Structure 1
Amino acid sequence: MAGILDRRALWSSVLTLLVLPAQADETRTSKAAAQVIATVNDVEITAGTLDLVYLRRRIPDNRRAQLRGRFIEELIDRQLVSEFLDSRKVAASDAAVDAQLKLIEDLIRKRKEEPASLLKRMGYTRESLRAELSIPLRWRAYAREVITAEKLREYWGRHRNRFDGTQLRAGHLLIKLPPEATAAQVDAVREKLDAVRENLAAGKTTFTAATAKHSQAPSASTGGDVGFFPIRGKMHPTFADAAFSLKPGEVSAPVRTPFGLHLITITDRRPGQLSLEDVCNEVFARVAQDRRAELIAQQRKAAKIVRAE
């Protein structure tokens, strides 16, 4: 698990560094990069930091305005996690951070660049890059501290079908929505599906009859059948997550995906055969992810967060 997390952190940073020279003319001036876009407990987050996120994720210019708010919130979350780790005095191994930093500097030199010069153009010093590289390492150290084997077993017991290779067969009732749907349009469709769901619960109709009457999916005439699917790899993640949380015979509340709003029901199940030992890394990663989300929600309640207009 450590290797997976560490490599992701490293190569994310390497990608940022190595794409920068080709895009140097597109980066902000030093003055613009220093513009404060938010503060978290009086710690500044700058436009230059946001630009690095755009570069790292290869966001084209025409989508940056649309995604700006989301990425600022992610940077706020990162700062909250860093402050929490500071408060717990959680440190990363110097050797692990140094190893990642050395690899980055070696890659820069192979491109006939001087590391200090390139880092400066990015708005980094060697120490600030070390600090950024250390955040995921520090988080993992904390997670290893608080996520015990017992907690992994408890989580596995509650969510086993998400990890053991289980496949579900589902039916869905879809009412399509355009990507630019207004809140009023979404609410209208949601109300319609809520009414259908109430009729299903009252026994006034069947799921097969409801899909034939209301669904706009190609499977409307076959009870909305989508066949068997695992937790990941076939269906949209939001759809799959909702399906895997259902009990047999239960009909979901309306679920939003890029296709529209769905009602989902489970019609069959193929149990998986994997054990906790087989998927321990995946379970650990999910528990750590959930813990991070809980922590951020708690930290946000007490934090002083100011976003620039």
Structure 2
Amino acid sequence: MQLKIKRLKYIPNSKFGLLLVFLSFLSLQAQEVVIDSTNVIKEEIGVKPKVNDTVKPFTRFKAEGVSAVIGEYVVLDSDIDKGYLELQQQGISIEDVTRCQLLGKLMEDKLYAHHAKVDSLIVSDDEVNQTLDQQLAYIINQFGGDEDKVAQFYKKESIQELRDELFSTNKTIMLGNRMQQKVVEDVEVTPEEVRQFFFSIPEDDRPIFSAEVEVAQIVIEPEITEAAKKKVIDKLNEFRRDIVENGSSFATKAVLYSKDGSASRGGLIEGIKKNSPFAKEFKDVAFSLLEGEVSEPFETEFGFHIVTVDKVRGQEIDVRHIILFPDVSQDVIDKARAKIDSIRAEIVAGNLEFAEAARKFSNEKETKNNGGQLVNPVSFDTRFDLTKMDPTLSAQVYNLEEGEVSKVFTDRDYTGKSKFKILTVTKKYAEHPADYSKDYEKIKELALKEKQIRAIEKWQDKKIKETYINVNRDYYDCQFSSNWLNN
């Protein structure tokens, strides 16, 4: 859902207008990974002043100087410098972004994190590590798997140094997010508030809802042969014998042969609990082992593994694992392609309904029983805003008419295995001005967000007065949207 609004502002510029700019490099839900600070720009940086945010540009600041103290947190000048670099690296113009704006946003983040600790809100190291593993795997993949290049790009001595810094940054952000969630968790809107919200907007200024689509797909995966599975199991048994009987290092085997992101750490996965988000088969095997014991090969939906328990810590265990994937022959791939071509031909000819074909033939467990219908992972309904959906999926369905079947597309999963799919648009919704009756749920969502923002603003104003805050004199001329200088 995209809004086109002329004068209506759902996120006030005074405090949250910058949020959209910074989400790309400060939010955990953005795709880019950020580093809070380490490297310092020592040459002078002049920044163009902006009327509503500062009265003069800054051309003087101290290397590693303290810009502000918020409770137990410190914001360095180098944090602000780093923010500029991160924006530039992502292709975002910094021409109109002032140091005052960057400092204001960093102070907000620290304020949330500080009071999350005061309120005893907890973000476990396990949660941070799970997010961090995904982030690093993504980054390393973007550099072709070369960890040295990643470290060099982020000006670190090693990938571990980058990991340590990202851990600290992510934990602070996650604490802040948790604090904001707590602030708004009890905020609700009544039907009357929704009505007032909508009809208070002048008719010409009401939001325009973007075109949306409902999409279904059929996925055919090449079948993995028993011979291919046996080959992988035999290889894992060979590793196990060498480790158990000859004393070979499990960690070294993982580094050399394992096929996932943990290989660089010797297959190490720390802090697994029985409710951790790992495959059930994986947890069942891991928690059945004694410390130092090596499992027999076993299968999960992700591949074939052997596991050893590195350390038992109460209800948590640290494990190492090696994962391998069966090879898929070209002959098997060709058979899968021929199968989906045949299914598509039957649907196009009118001999088979798309939904029926999905239920009968699709290999995608999540969608086949629903006739192949995709669910939006953000809204959890079946509608996708064409401007916000995954770019690859958007490109595949953008020009499809309702009921039309796409050509066959080839996807590859994280193991490199090919799979084939066809898609159809089951329903199209044209771009249109907001209608109170037809779009009530979307309007309710907007009204709720506005009320949540008001609650956060009120909380922030109150907490600034209650918190120790010290801003460097270099920033006294800033016209902050929040009352950071007179708390």
TM-score by length of 2: 0.33
**Greater helix share, 1 or 2?**
1
